[in-house]
Chain A
Amino acid sequence: MSDITKQSLSELVENIKSKKLSSSEVTKAFVERSEKSKELNVYITEDYSNALEKAKKFDEKPNLDLKLPGIPMAVKDLFCTKDLRTTAGSKILNNFVPTYESTVTQNIWNEGAILMGKLNCDEFAMGSSNETSFFGNVQNPIDKNLVPGGSSGGSSSAVAAQLTPITIGTDTGGSIRQPASFTGTVGLKPTYGSCSRYGIVAFASSLDQAGPMAQNVKDCALLQEVISTYDVKDSTSIDFKRNEYSKELTKDIKGKKIGIPKEYRVDDMPKEIEDLWKKGIEYAKDCGAEIIDISLPHTNYALPTYYIVAPAEASSNLARYDGVKYGFRAEGENLINMYEKTRSEGFGAEVQRRIMIGTYVLSSGYYDAYYLKAQKVRKLIKNDFDDAYKKVDAILTPSTPSSAFKIGEKTNDPVSMYLNDIFTVPVNLAGLPGISIPAGHDAKGYPLGLQIIGKAFDEQNILNIAYAMEEKINFKNNITDWWIK
């Protein structure tokens, strides 16, 4: 079967379960395509021979009751994987091999999936273009000059280029939804507390959340079902009743009330985005949903709030990378000198910038003006959503204010880069689930995404809306395999 890699996750699972395909065949197909796709630079660490070995073992005694039977999968290099190097895209963890497995990846392997390798990402997930990775930038399979988004850029690129049938990313301010939007794929950021953070290299603890990235909504639902578990090892994990998202998935969204927040009509929003949003509203109506105008008055403050809270937490979370215990160490004359050299050489520019911002906003004398105030605004932003959800079941917005930009275009303009997160960060600040689905193309033919934001723990509802709209939108990605010689 030459078109194995073109199959969706659901098709592959079906074919393996009905023994039309073996895990070895599937794994080999994705490994071969991955090997031919080095130019995209999606992998930081490849683990192909182990993957093929595991596939062989699976086939010898296949357990076909599992949800991901023998399915090969590459994952973002922010998830700690036992005995396989985990770098977080940073030089400072270049030689780090965990002795433990993250809960999310463990859940995936428990359902029969097989690890193919670790995918590129912005350093410590700080970035919107995958250009801050120590391991180089990733190319968007849509166009070689385009960024794949970030921070889960390796993940979005790998799914769009069909190097992995499905993957997982992490989303602190849009790091799943924005790259999904840039690559014409589907990405879900679950409710904060839905997926365990245990074993995920931390960026901003109160915002970080793992989630699935896929070619379609159904695959996304299936993976969410696998990765979302209550975990006592994460004190912020929440014990709520989780649906069997893929089984309960339905296109029947008749009568669902969908809110359109007027504050998301930002200045300078390209007409294409405005048009896409209008189209999205029509699609939703076609599916039988009711459209209601709503207001999220504090939206304007979300981005500055985010860029205080996230760096503050990051500055503290990244203090452990000091050259003492593991990872990169630069020799120094004394302890302080060793710290300074290790951290100056080990961290890239964007990470250093955020550590500095974070250190500043937490400093005595500035704490109240920045961090404390940001926490208060964060509460107001959450209240906005709570109020809105008294009237609506979900909210529809564009995923990003533009389509994918060019590699290098924004690297010297951090603020313009940060602006890319404008529609996604409020969702993280409020701890809500949000999904980005591909909804159209801009004039250049680059994909554009729509975001559906749900109530906390209401993943099923936004998956259903996305599922219904997906059918109406009938999006087709224009990927030409230009990188395969």
Chain B
Amino acid sequence: MSKNKSEYLINRHDNQYEVVIGLEVHAQVTSQSKLFSTSATKFGAEPNTQVSLVDAAFPGMLPVINEFCVKQAIKTGIGLKAKINKRSVFDRKNYFYADLPQGYQISQFKDPIVGEGKVILDMPDGQKEIGIERLHLEQDAGKSIHDLDPKNTFVDLNRSGVALMEIVSKPDLRSPDEVNAYIKKLRSIMRYLGTCDGNMQEGSLRADVNVSVRKKGSKEFGTRCEIKNVNSIKFMQMAIEYEANRQVDLIEDGQTIDQETRLFDTKKNETRSMRSKEDAHDYRYFPDPDLLPLEVSDDFIENLKSEIPELPDEKKKRFIEKFKLSPYEANILVSDIETSNYFENVIKKSDVKLATNWIIGELFAALNEKNLEITESPISAGNLSKLINLIKDGTISGKIAKTVFEQMMEGDKDPQKIVEEKGLKQESDPKALEALIDKVIDDNREKANEYKSGKVKLFGFFVGQVMKVSGGKANPQLVNEILKKKL
């Protein structure tokens, strides 16, 4: 018996399996320059144009920590409600590869800058807390390009030395949907903080996914496999689904699972073994003697705390309490900082309830259709606010408003002007409406008589006729009142 409907279980024969997932998210720190050098970090630059002597590991070159990246990591830690470690240590992770110029990656191993924290997920059946194990700072490697030449590999070092935050979750995730919600929440928090742009297409956010399965009810974890470097939520979900089923099949077949590192093949939708535990690298971690332990003071941390904006969870609470939004509405509106900013700008001068409905309903649908982000919306918050006020004060009907809205989507036009230019203003003058209604009754004498003799259903027909004749502009409430009297 499952406690809730959304529980994700894999059924085989009489057995039910639970999936246990932990994520190591690599988030690129938003910063002008790299973690240990002054090179730029712009995405999409010509290969090897953002490389310093330090990034290319020339003899005698030394790393110098970028204070801004440290601040970004601490801010992120604060956003994850995590413990900030006042003393952290940079270690060298040693391995050879052509796109790793130093022959080691500077990372944090035993003493990360951020310790345990948490992320709250809003799932359909309630909230769920996902534990954060740690967050540490590390350098990105360069990029090997294998497909430009049949014989040679090219190396682009633009990314070499760029600051990453590795955010390690506890194995608290139980389904692809939770993974989806977790990544989105993490991204949302970092975008609120301005510490990572969360752009998965540009590789600013990618994850290693640890997956294991166990019989439902079991307390012990199964053997896990790590799926390396997955760069979209969809692929993460597909990889988890494939991998969990693969592991269940092995167990059902009486086989054991090897702890190994696997790759997700996005074309074939399957995971493949990359290297087994025996072949695992011995990274020979040791503290980087070129860098002193990183020490931050209480004041330093307090100052950063004062720079932290209102984060999604707090904002949601405020929206519910202050604006009486439903948790569902609040969730949608706080999901990213741009949407919540837009919403708050709209309601500065207009009705909250109407604004909520119009943003979540019409605006999102229209943006979705045009594949636009809220920041690219053709309708500014100010103009949407005006439109809502036109509805609220009865200048136009909700129906007409939709027409005006469509016009606005074609370009940021003032709704007031559209209404005036197109003569869409609602007809609320009782005398004018009476004349209209008299004409409609005259033209439909027979039906009017039927109505009078008891066919009350025909009332709707008359309303429709009046609206039609008025070109939709007649104030529906007044039409109702006058019609009742006249018939």
Give A residues with C-beta under 8 Å from B: 79-80, 86, 88, 93, 96, 98-100, 102, 197-202, 204-206, 232-236, 312-313, 315-316, 318-320, 322, 324-326, 335, 339, 359, 362-364, 367, 371
Asked whether B59 lies within 8 Å of A86 as measured between CB atoms, the reply is: yes
Q: A205-B289, A205-B290, A206-B289 are in contact. Are A198 and B282 (CB under 8 A)?
A: no
Asked whether B94 lies within 8 Å of A319 as measured between CB atoms, the reply is: yes
Question: B284: which A residues are within 8 A, CB to CB?
Answer: 315-316, 359, 362-364, 367
Query: Given the complex of chains A and B, what is the CA–CA distance between A96 and B61 in angstroms?
Result: 14
Asked whether A362 lies within 8 Å of B94 as measured between CB atoms, the reply is: yes
Query: Given the complex of chains A and B, what is the CA–CA distance between A325 and B56 in angstroms?
Result: 8
From B59, B94, B101, contact of A324 by CB (8 A): B101
Question: A318: which B residues are within 8 A, CB to CB?
Answer: 103
Query: Given the complex of chains A and B, what is the CA–CA distance between A198 and B290 in angstroms?
Result: 10
Query: Given the complex of chains A and B, what is the CA–CA distance between A317 and B92 in angstroms?
Result: 10
From A80, A322, A363, contact of B282 by CB (8 A): A363
Min C-beta distance of B346 to chain A, whole Å: 48
Question: B97: which A residues are within 8 A, CB to CB?
Answer: 335
From A80, A316, A322, A326, contact of B60 by CB (8 A): A80
Q: 17 more A-B contacts (CB under 8 A) besides A235-B291, A315-B284, A339-B96?
A: A98-B60, A102-B60, A198-B62, A201-B60, A202-B290, A205-B290, A232-B64, A234-B62, A235-B65, A235-B290, A236-B289, A312-B286, A313-B289, A316-B103, A320-B102, A320-B103, A325-B57
Asked whether A197 lies within 8 Å of B60 as measured between CB atoms, the reply is: yes
Min C-beta distance of B148 to chain A, whole Å: 16
Q: A235-B62, A235-B65 are in contact. Are A322 and B103 (CB under 8 A)?
A: yes
From B59, B92, B94, B101, contact of A96 by CB (8 A): B59
Asked whether B155 lies within 8 Å of A200 as measured between CB atoms, the reply is: no
- Asked if B98 is at the interface (CB within 8 A of a chain A CB), the reply is yes
From B58, B94, B290, contact of A236 by CB (8 A): B290
Query: Given the complex of chains A and B, what is the CA–CA distance between A206 and B288 in angstroms?
Result: 9
By beta carbon, the residue of chain B nearest A232 is B64
Q: A201-B59, A316-B92, A371-B286 are in contact. Are A235 and B292 (CB under 8 A)?
A: yes
Asked whether A100 lies within 8 Å of B291 as measured between CB atoms, the reply is: no
Question: B155: which A residues are within 8 A, CB to CB?
Answer: 324
Query: Given the complex of chains A and B, what is the CA–CA distance between A410 and B290 in angstroms?
Result: 32
Q: A313-B289, A319-B102, A324-B155 are in contact. Are A198 and B57 (CB under 8 A)?
A: no
Query: Given the complex of chains A and B, what is the CA–CA distance between A88 and B57 in angstroms?
Result: 16
Asked whether A322 lies within 8 Å of B96 as measured between CB atoms, the reply is: yes
Can you report 23 residue pairs joining A to B where beta carbons are below 8 Å apart?
A79-B60, A80-B60, A100-B58, A197-B62, A198-B61, A198-B62, A201-B60, A205-B288, A233-B62, A235-B292, A313-B289, A315-B94, A316-B286, A318-B103, A319-B94, A319-B102, A320-B57, A325-B57, A326-B58, A335-B97, A335-B98, A362-B286, A364-B282
Asked whether A200 lies within 8 Å of B102 as measured between CB atoms, the reply is: no
By beta carbon, the residue of chain A nearest B157 is A325
Asked whether B103 lies within 8 Å of A319 as measured between CB atoms, the reply is: yes
Secondary structure class of chain A's binding surface, majority of residues:
loop
Query: Given the complex of chains A and B, what is the CA–CA distance between A316 and B63 in angstroms?
Result: 14
Asked whether A235 lies within 8 Å of B64 as measured between CB atoms, the reply is: yes
Greatest chain B CB density within 10 A among A96, A312, A324, A362 is at A324
Interface size class of B (residues with CB under 8 A): 20 to 34
- Asked if B104 is at the interface (CB within 8 A of a chain A CB), the reply is yes
By beta carbon, the residue of chain A nearest B103 is A319
Asked whether A325 lies within 8 Å of B289 as measured between CB atoms, the reply is: no
Min C-beta distance of B115 to chain A, whole Å: 22
Asked whether B101 lies within 8 Å of A320 as measured between CB atoms, the reply is: yes
- Asked if B53 is at the interface (CB within 8 A of a chain A CB), the reply is yes
By beta carbon, the residue of chain A nearest B65 is A235
- Write out, one digit per residue, whether chain B residues 100-122 have a CB within 8 A of any chain A CB (1) or not (0): 01111000000000000000000
By beta carbon, the residue of chain A nearest B290 is A205
Asked whether B101 lies within 8 Å of A325 as measured between CB atoms, the reply is: yes
Min C-beta distance of B221 to chain A, whole Å: 22
Asked whether B64 lies within 8 Å of A233 as measured between CB atoms, the reply is: yes
Query: Given the complex of chains A and B, what is the CA–CA distance between A32 and B413 in angstroms?
Result: 85
Question: A232: which B residues are within 8 A, CB to CB?
Answer: 64
Greatest chain B CB density within 10 A among A236, A322, A335 is at A322
Asked whether B56 lies within 8 Å of A98 as measured between CB atoms, the reply is: no
Min C-beta distance of B257 to chain A, whole Å: 23
Query: Given the complex of chains A and B, what is the CA–CA distance between A474 and B172 in angstroms?
Result: 76
Q: A233-B64, A235-B291, A364-B282 are in contact. Are A316 and B94 (CB under 8 A)?
A: yes
By beta carbon, the residue of chain B nearest A205 is B289
* Chain B contacts with A in 285-325, Cβ cutoff 8 A: 285-286, 288-292
Min C-beta distance of A346 to chain B, whole Å: 13
From B59, B101, B282, contact of A202 by CB (8 A): B59
By beta carbon, the residue of chain A nearest B288 is A205
By beta carbon, the residue of chain B nearest A320 is B57
Asked whether A235 lies within 8 Å of B60 as measured between CB atoms, the reply is: no
Question: A201: which B residues are within 8 A, CB to CB?
Answer: 59-60
Asked whether B286 lies within 8 Å of A236 as measured between CB atoms, the reply is: no
Asked whether B59 lies within 8 Å of A88 as measured between CB atoms, the reply is: yes
Question: B94: which A residues are within 8 A, CB to CB?
Answer: 315-316, 319, 362
- Write out, one digit per residue, whether chain B residues 20-63 have a CB within 8 A of any chain A CB (1) or not (0): 00000000000000000000000000000000010011111111
Question: Nearest 9 A-B pairs (CB), nearest first?
Answer: A319-B103, A205-B289, A206-B289, A362-B284, A199-B60, A320-B57, A201-B59, A80-B60, A205-B290
Question: A96: which B residues are within 8 A, CB to CB?
Answer: 59
Query: Given the complex of chains A and B, what is the CA–CA distance between A320 and B61 in angstroms?
Result: 11
From A99, A202, A319, A367, contact of B96 by CB (8 A): A319
Min C-beta distance of B168 to chain A, whole Å: 19
By beta carbon, the residue of chain A nearest B53 is A100
Q: A316-B104, A319-B96, A362-B94 are in contact. Are A367 and B62 (CB under 8 A)?
A: no
Min C-beta distance of B57 to chain A, whole Å: 4
Min C-beta distance of A285 to chain B, whole Å: 40
Greatest chain A CB density within 10 A among B96, B98, B285, B289 is at B289
Min C-beta distance of A101 to chain B, whole Å: 10
By beta carbon, the residue of chain A nearest B144 is A335
Query: Given the complex of chains A and B, what is the CA–CA distance between A86 and B63 in angstroms?
Result: 21
Query: Given the complex of chains A and B, what is the CA–CA distance between A204 and B285 in angstroms?
Result: 16
Query: Given the complex of chains A and B, what is the CA–CA distance between A247 and B104 in angstroms?
Result: 44
Query: Given the complex of chains A and B, what is the CA–CA distance between A79 and B60 in angstroms?
Result: 8
By beta carbon, the residue of chain B nearest A92 is B59
* Chain B contacts with A in 197-224, Cβ cutoff 8 A: none
Query: Given the complex of chains A and B, what is the CA–CA distance between A80 and B92 in angstroms?
Result: 24
By beta carbon, the residue of chain B nearest A207 is B289
Min C-beta distance of B51 to chain A, whole Å: 10
Question: A235: which B residues are within 8 A, CB to CB?
Answer: 62-65, 290-292
Query: Given the complex of chains A and B, what is the CA–CA distance between A11 and B326 in angstroms?
Result: 88
Query: Given the complex of chains A and B, what is the CA–CA distance between A351 and B92 in angstroms?
Result: 20
Question: A199: which B residues are within 8 A, CB to CB?
Answer: 60-61
Min C-beta distance of A439 to chain B, whole Å: 33
